[in-house]
A and B are shown apart, each in its own frame.
Chain A
Amino acid sequence: MTIDLKTVKHISKLARISLDEKKAEKLATDMNSIFEFIEKLNELNTDNVEPLTSIAETTLRFRDDKITSENIREKILKNSPEKNDDFFVVPKVVE
């Protein structure tokens, strides 16, 4: 199987990473060599195998529905690239 340039561009849209033509071509080459290596898994018949989704056999714990942190708005907003007093600011999304 080969991953063509069109697929790479589609994936880059899904991943929200802009790519120029040259980078897309390089990625197509890299991804093909990596997938060639990954295809080895097809040698194995796994029809009756349960997928392993988590190594830690724990059930999710419940906690009390209590607020543990208060008045951290300022702290949270501190790292924001653009903000006004109370909100994160992004480019305009509504015309």
Chain B
Amino acid sequence: MSEISSLTLYELIKNIKEKKISSNEAAKSFVDRAEKSKKINAYVTENFENCLKLSKEFDDKPNFDLKLPGIPIAVKDLFCTNEVRTTAGSNILNNFVPNYESTVTQNIWNEGGILLGKLNCDEFAMGSSNETSFFGNVQNPIAEDLVPGGSSGGSSAALAANLTPVTIGTDTGGSIRQPASFTGTVGLKPTYGSCSRYGIVAFASSLDQAGPMSKDVKDSSILLEVISSFDKKDSTSIDFKRNNYSSELTRNIKGLKIGIPKEYRVDGMPDEIEKLWKKGIEYAKDCGAEIIDISLPHTSYALPTYYIVAPAEASSNLARYDGVKYGLRSSGKNLIDMYEKTRSEGFGEEVKRRVMIGTYVLSSGYYDAYYLKAQKVRQLIKQDFDQAYNKVDAILTPSTPSSAFKIGEKSNDPVSMYLNDIFTVPVNLAGLPGISIPAGVDKNNYPLGLQIIGKPFDEQTVLNIAYSMEEKINYKNNITDWWMK
């Protein structure tokens, strides 16, 4: 049998249920590998000892009816975990230990999952390369000094490096799908309202969604089934009938209509992305889908809209970090001075930039010109999708306009960094489900992803198309463990 850490979640569950591997053996395997993989810098907080202990307890009293029986899982450090430090990648929360648990992680522990540790991410999930984290850059296991994407960069790196069988991330403008694309892994952003936001450090509340990240599509379906739930503690949680995503997973997508939006053919898009997309269209046809050209006319307005809406919401969400009730406090000569110094020292550059933009667009005299305008354009973007879905069941696009870039390459130019999210942001603005699956490599052998966008609450169709195409694409990551040498 191959090494435990390289198994998919599905295989690991099967082996544990058949008592071929114990939960403790699995935990040991991931912990050992993590100890040899410090260079990746995936972990902000390790929970290894506790994980080993809990896995033993599971083995002493196993319950194989659970969906994640004794499975060790590392999660993005944006999910509050009871009694385990939660930093959101920020200095301002460097010492924060929550006394409650996020609903999404609680759902995982309820089904037998065991916390391995908390994974690095861009500060408050604001970034596309994990370079804004207070806890340093994360290495992409694909190649040295390559970014793992962001903001769920610790999650994507841990997954690709086989440090966790699956993981969860959060996605506000592409933060699950873009890092998945950069690391040759699968990442799903569910419909807004599918996974509870309770206990997730808030970035932009009308856009944030948690979702699964995994080595293949089947694993994402298993994890989605666990984390998606109606939750009274989240006022925007939606009470809809959730599928049994993993048991309803099928490769039969014959006759499904898949739309190809012409506006995603953006200026300056590299040839290899165009080629990948064409290849994807052929694969979808091979799977029995019908391809239909569609138009999403307001696509080019999505990024400017996002860079008003997200910072505006962030600036109000981050107002709570004032040095009074928790987190970092800097000393000041009076209360206001204390606030200003705390926030200046506690927040990194990108977070300050976004809080400033958000404060500006919400400030007196500018609200109508920027924030209200952006909300109106957001309506138009949503209507584009509504109209497209009268004709098609799903939409196929590239996940990102390029492959992973080098650490430091884009960190001085915020706008060029923002352009990374050009294909993922519209999906958040419209609240839709979207998945990124690995579909090929560029000239450097860096992975490239394709995105499948679905109708609201139709994660099953998105997963089915991805599952079907994944078989035809037959992509395998080539990870050499270079960081261990």
Across the interface, which residues of B come within 8 angstroms of A92, CB to CB? Answer: 334
**Chain A positions 40 through 52: 1 when the CB is less than 8 Å from some CB of chain B, otherwise 0:** 1110101001111
Given contacts A31-B353, A49-B376, contact A18 B327 (CB under 8 A): no
Min CB distance, A26 to chain B, in Å? 8
The interface residues of chain B lying within 8 Å CB-to-CB of A79 are 95-97, 99, 325-327
A67 close to chain B: CB less than 8 A: no
Task: Return 10 A-B CB contacts under 8 Å, by A number.
Answer: A17-B355, A18-B343, A33-B414, A34-B415, A41-B308, A55-B429, A56-B236, A60-B235, A79-B327, A82-B329
Q: Which residue of A lies closest to B419 (CB)?
A: A37
Most buried by B among A55, A78, A90: A55
Chain B CB within 8 A of A66 CB: no
A contacts, CB < 8 Å to B: 3, 7-8, 11-12, 14-19, 27, 30-31, 33-34, 37-42, 44, 46, 49-56, 58, 60-61, 63, 72, 75-76, 78-82, 88, 90-93
The answer for the CA separation of A46 and B379 in the assembled complex, in Å, is 10
Query: Is B375 a contact of A51 with CB atoms below 8 Å?
Result: yes
| Per-residue interface assignment for chain B, residues 349 to 369, with 1 indicating a CB less than 8 Å from any chain A CB and 0 otherwise | 000110111011001000000
Are the C-beta atoms of B332 and A55 separated by less than 8 Å?
no
Are B325 and A41 neighbours in the complex by a CB distance under 8 Å?
no
- Overall SS of chain B's interface: helix
B residues whose Cβ falls under 8 Å from a Cβ of A? 95-97, 99, 192-193, 206, 232, 235-236, 238, 298, 300-301, 303-305, 307-308, 315, 319, 322-329, 332-341, 343-344, 347, 352-353, 355-357, 359-360, 363, 370, 372-380, 382, 414-415, 418, 429-431
A41:B357 contact, CB within 8 angstroms: no
Q: How close is A81's CB to chain B, nearest CB, in angstroms?
A: 4
Instruction: Find chain A residues with CB under 8 A from B429 CB.
Output: 55
Residue B414 contacts which of A16, A34, A56, A75 (CB distance < 8 angstroms)?
A34
Please give the distance in Å from B424's CB to the nearest CB on chain A: 15
- Residues of B within 8 Å of A14, CB to CB, are 359, 363
Complex Cα–Cα for A41 and B349 (A):
26
Asked whether, in the complex, the Cβ of B370 is within 8 Å of the Cβ of A38, the reply is yes
Minimum CB–CB distance from A28 to chain B (whole Å) comes to 10
User: Are B375 and A52 in contact, CB atoms less than 8 angstroms apart?
Assistant: yes
Residue contact A33 to B415, C-beta cutoff 8 Å:
yes
Residues in B whose Cβ lies below 8 Å from that of A56? 192-193, 236, 238, 431
- Residues A90 and B335 in contact, CB atoms below 8 Å apart: yes
Residues from chain B with a CB closer than 8 A to the CB of A11 are 356, 359-360, 363
Considering the chains assembled together, what is the distance between the CA atoms of A79 and B325 in angstroms? 7
Contact, CB under 8 Å: B356 / A15: yes
Knowing A79-B325, A81-B328, the reply to whether A38 touches B99 (Cβ < 8 A) is no
Closest A residue by C-beta to B355: A15
**Which has the most chain A C-beta neighbours within 10 Å: B300, B315, B373, B430?**
B373
* Nearest CB in chain A: distance from B169 CB, A: 19
Of the candidates A3, A19, A51, A88, the one whose C-beta lies within 8 Å of that of B324 is A88
CB-based contact A17/B206 at 8 Å: no
